[in-house]
Amino acid sequence: MDRIKITGGRPLEGIIPISGAKNAALPLMIASILTRETLTLHNVPRLSDVRLLMRILGNHGVDAAISGKRLGQSEESGETITLSARDIVDTTAPYELVSRMRASFWVIAPMLARMGQARVSLPGGCAIGTRPVDLLLMALEKLGADIEIDSGYVIATAPKGLKGGTIDFPKVTVGGTHVALMAASLADGTTIIKNAAREPEITDLAECLIKMGAKIEGAGTSQIVIEGVARLDGAHYAVLPDRIETGTYAIAVAMTGGNVLLEGARADLLQNALDHIEKAGAKITVEPTGLRISRAPGLLAPVDITTEPFPGFPTDLQAQFMALMTRASGSSRIHETIFENRFMHVQELARLGAQIKLEGDVAIVKGQSRLKGAPVMATDLRASVSLIVAALVAEGTTTVNRVYHLDRGFEALEKKLGRCGADIERISGEG
Ligand code: UD1
């Protein structure tokens, strides 16, 4: 297993290209099941989750291929993936695959909408809280599906096809909204999704579905109306830039000091987080090719955050912001409202010298911690990257184990940071 070794203390200077968003690419790939025609996705990030999803889709009969590089494309240009679900050969998604990536559970929606049946394993335990799928199943039931649970599998059927209906989510759910959008696109009649998630990745999926021929209005607001169509066509679609990668590198620069252009980044995708990073002491300017982040030497200000559905502060940047606050001039409060148990990084940050007290869903971070390098490991994607952020300023060397978590969500992280002056290297092998 690979490890990443970082020796802290260097400011970041240069350009970091921002990749396509993982959390948009995954549902877009899954949407390919909705059509017999070819869906071509551009700007897809090179991530292990994308590779795994290609395999999962392959099991269902989707031909998935990565196109070769085209003239003028650099190493950083995202990949182009073609997905052709001409014939669905298997409507079962097995435990071995679904348990490795929760988002693959979402195949249930397009499979049911197109084939009238799907048998998908429940995702099983997850490191960040219980993360149930009850709301996803409720959405499918509202569209006329029969749902049964048998031996750890969800068996969903709609022999006469799905029917439009009203889905009123009692809680904002990104996955639930993705599932509802995909299923309703091929349902008979009109569907109204109330209290829909407003995340940019939802809008990205809706825009792609519209290009495929779906009739959707209101994506990006909390009420989405879908007029079902009998069939969808192929399309070309480019994945939007990753706002979590953008926010992570912005926080890294706020942490180390320096001056970095985040190429291709879009401020409108994470304005709330950028406002908090600025309050902490970074300077952020919008440039024609991206966002510039800089910070002059000096202490950071303590800033409280509360995670919320979009457009609030994203839970996926909570761990990184907590790492930043360990270096603020005073105490800050970090309130996690989306997931229970999303504080696993606290113990590992403590190994680097951070002083953080947990009170239920609030973490109180004492500022001015002296961070010192140590071997650490993390149990999820965002937690791992928060350790990288801390290690960039820790005295001495930090080794981050279990790097496969990072490879799920951050493309070429060590290259991107290394080119900006960080002392960082990947060590291959046992870890
Ligand atoms: C997606 C993102 C993840 C992000 C999260 C919140 C992807 C691949 N993942 O996850 O990175 O952290 O949104 O922005 O896009 N819930 C239920 N029942 C359900 C579904 C969800 O109770 O059936 C709860 C969850 O436990 C959680 C909350 O709703 O407390 C929000 O979860 P949700 O928005 O669905 O997260 P994901 O789609 O799994």
Beta carbon of 135 within 6 Å of any ligand 1 atom: yes
CB 307, CB 313: distance < 8 Å: yes
133 CA: nearest ligand 1 atom: 23
Q: What is the reported pTM? A: 0.96
Question: Within 13 Å of residue 23, how many CA atoms lie on the same side as its CB?
Answer: 16
pLDDT at 391: 97
Q: What is the DSSP letter of 273?
A: H
| pLDDT for residue 129 is more than 60 | no
Distance 281 CA to ligand 1 centre (A): 31
Average pLDDT rounded to a whole number, residues 239-243? 98
Burial of 89 (0-12, 13-18, 19+ CB in 10 A): exposed
Amino acid at 423: D
131 CB-contact burial (10 Å; exposed 0-12 / middle 13-18 / buried 19+): middle
Is residue 73's pLDDT more than 50? yes
- Residue 431 confidence (pLDDT) above 50: no
Q: End-to-end alpha-carbon separation of the chain, Å?
A: 5
Q: pLDDT for 99-115, tens place per residue?
A: 989 999 999 999 999 99
Q: What's the pLDDT at 382?
A: 87
Residue 161 in this model has a pLDDT that exceeds 90: yes
Average pLDDT, the chain: 94
258-267: per-residue pLDDT in tens? Answer: 999 999 999 9
Question: Whose CA is closest to 201, among 416, 45, 323, 389?
Answer: 45
Q: Is 59 in a helix, a strand, or coil?
A: helix
Mutation to probe ligand 1, out of 131, 179, 321, 344 (largest number of atoms < 8 A from CB): 131
Residues 176-202: tens digit of each pLDDT: 999 999 999 999 999 999 999 999 999
Rounded to whole angstroms, the Cα distance separating 80 from 67 reads 5
Cα torsion 171, 172, 173, 177: sign: positive
Query: Does residue 208 have an active-site annotation?
Result: no
Counting from 1 in the atom list of ligand 1, the atom nearest the Cα of 138 is 23
Q: Which single residue is written with the structure tokens 């290009």?
A: 211
Taking each helix axis from N to C terminus, what angle separates 200-211 and 174-185, rounded to the nearest 10 degrees? 10
What average pLDDT score do residues 153-163 get? 96
Provide φ and ψ at 279, rounded to 5°: -60, -35
Nearest ligand 1 atom to alpha carbon 316: 12
pLDDT at 282: 97
- The 10 Å Cβ neighbour count of residue 425 is 12
pLDDT above 80 for 147: yes
